[in-house]
């Protein structure tokens, strides 16, 4: 059986990663992508795909609201950032989940599960599943950053992270003791998963406000953040973030 597949995620990088991973499966037939909830509802009801990969947290309209408003109900594979509670939410066996960043080995299991299903899930079942996921996510605040690479996962305490810096292909993670790690996710995606004490001060920089040693005014409405790490790193903000910085630090 072929699965006419729709991918829904507000992150272009996440959509591309899924397309690349799913392209190796002969039963997957791509029928489109959507980058927000409104577009997702329109495409699900118009295209009527068999299989949808749906990001749960999206700006404007989340996964719950999408499921609540669609008329056509396909197989749904939810994409989430948390793994420790997800198994309970999917005990019904009618849907599945993927934890970002998505790995091929996990997709193998997802497709094996989808192939074994004999009927599409009902809407009420999907709504209850998403409610449970979103309720649990809202109660959790990340304390550790899992960083994958070279066949292993390194766990970095978020309180030890001084700042994130976006480069062309990666995001660099700098810690207070001078360590540097690389992440494949976009800075926008990482920001959406971080606690509120991380602050975007530039399109390339996210800083830990608990690790700021000093803030200095700079020209053009910018500010210099001197971080309390071993290198006394200096981060220069963008003028676009000036108002947020002034309000937060009462400058």
Tens-place pLDDT, residues 88-98? 445 444 577 78
Q: Following DSSP, what letter does each residue of 151-172 receive, concatenated?
A: TEEEEEEGGGEEEEEE-SS-EE
pTM of the predicted structure, to 2 decimals? 0.55
| CATH class of the domain defined by 144-249 | mainly beta
- Residue 22, pLDDT > 90, answer yes
Report the candidate in 23, 20, 22, 15 with the shortest Cα–Cα distance to residue 39: 15
Stretch(es) of the chain classified as CATH 3.40.50.2300:
3-139
CA–CA distance, 162 with 153 (Å, rounded to integer): 20
CA–CA distance, 154 with 147 (Å, rounded to integer): 5
Tens-place pLDDT, residues 145-157? 888 776 678 888 8
Higher pLDDT residue, 124 or 55?
Answer: 55
Across 35-56, average pLDDT: 92
- Residue 3, pLDDT > 60, answer yes
Please say whether the beta carbons of 98 and 111 come within 8 A.
Answer: no
Which pLDDT value is given to residue 208?
94
Average pLDDT, the chain: 84
Which strands form 234-236's sheet, in the order they lie side by side? 212-217, 223-227, 234-236
- For the chain, what's the residue count? 251
CA–CA distance, 223 with 178 (Å, rounded to integer): 22
Stretch(es) of the chain classified as CATH 2.40.50.1020:
144-249
- What are the backbone angles phi and psi of residue 102, rounded to the nearest 5°? -70, 135
Pairing mode, strands 75-80 and 144-149: unpaired
Tens-place pLDDT, residues 221-232? 999 999 999 999
| CATH class of the domain defined by 3-139 | alpha beta
**136 sits in which H/E element:** helix 123-139
**Mapping DSSP to helix (H, G, I), strand (E, B) and coil, where does residue 224 land?**
strand
Q: Which region among 9-18, 31-40, 116-125, 134-143 has the lowest average model confidence (pLDDT)?
A: 134-143
**b/e map of 129-145 (b: 16 or more CB within 10 Å)?**
bbeebbebbeeeeeeeb
3-state secondary structure 40-102: HHHHHHHHCCCEEEEECCCCCCCHHHHHHHCCCCCEEEEEECCCCCHHHHCCCCCCEEEECCC
As given in the structure block, the two tokens for residue 246 are 């002034």
CA–CA distance, 2 with 50 (Å, rounded to integer): 9
How far from 167 is each of 170, 187, 223, 240, CA to CA, in Å?
A: 5, 9, 21, 19
Tens-place pLDDT, residues 110-129? 898 888 877 777 777 777 76
- Taking the CA atoms of 183, 188, 189 and 192 in sequence, report the sign of the dihedral they define: positive
How far from 153 is each of 17, 149, 169, CA to CA, in Å?
A: 19, 6, 19
Burial of 184 (0-12, 13-18, 19+ CB in 10 A): middle
Tens-place pLDDT, residues 190-232? 888 788 789 999 999 999 999 999 999 999 899 999 999 999 9
């Amino acid at each position: 059986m072929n699965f006419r597949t729709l991918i829904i995620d507000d992150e272009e990088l996440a959509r591309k990663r899924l397309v690349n991973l799913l392209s190796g499966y002969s039963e997957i037939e791509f029928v489109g992508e959507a980058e927000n909830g409104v577009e997702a509802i329109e495409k699900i009801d118009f295209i009527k795909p068999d299989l949808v990969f749906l990001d749960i947290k999206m700006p404007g309209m989340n996964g719950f609201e999408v499921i609540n408003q669609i008329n056509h109900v396909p197989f749904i594979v939810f994409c989430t950032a948390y793994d420790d509670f997800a198994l309970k939410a999917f005990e019904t066996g009618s849907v599945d989940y993927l934890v970002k960043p998505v790995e091929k080995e996990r997709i193998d299991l997802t497709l094996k599960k989808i192939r074994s299903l004999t009927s599409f899930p009902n809407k009420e079942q999907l709504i209850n599943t998403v409610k449970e996921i979103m309720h649990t996510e809202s109660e959790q605040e990340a304390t550790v950053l899992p960083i994958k690479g070279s066949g292993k996962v390194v766990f970095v305490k978020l309180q030890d992270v001084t700042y994130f810096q976006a480069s062309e292909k990666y995001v660099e993670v700098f810690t207070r003791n001078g360590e540097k790690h690389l992440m494949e996710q976009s800075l926008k995606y990482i920001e959406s998963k971080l606690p509120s004490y991380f602050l975007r001060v530039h399109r390339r920089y996210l800083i830990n406000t608990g690790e700021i040693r000093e803030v200095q005014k700079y020209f053009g409405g910018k500010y210099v953040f001197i971080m309390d790490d071993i290198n006394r790193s200096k981060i220069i903000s963008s003028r676009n973030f000036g108002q947020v910085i002034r309000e937060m630090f009462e400058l």
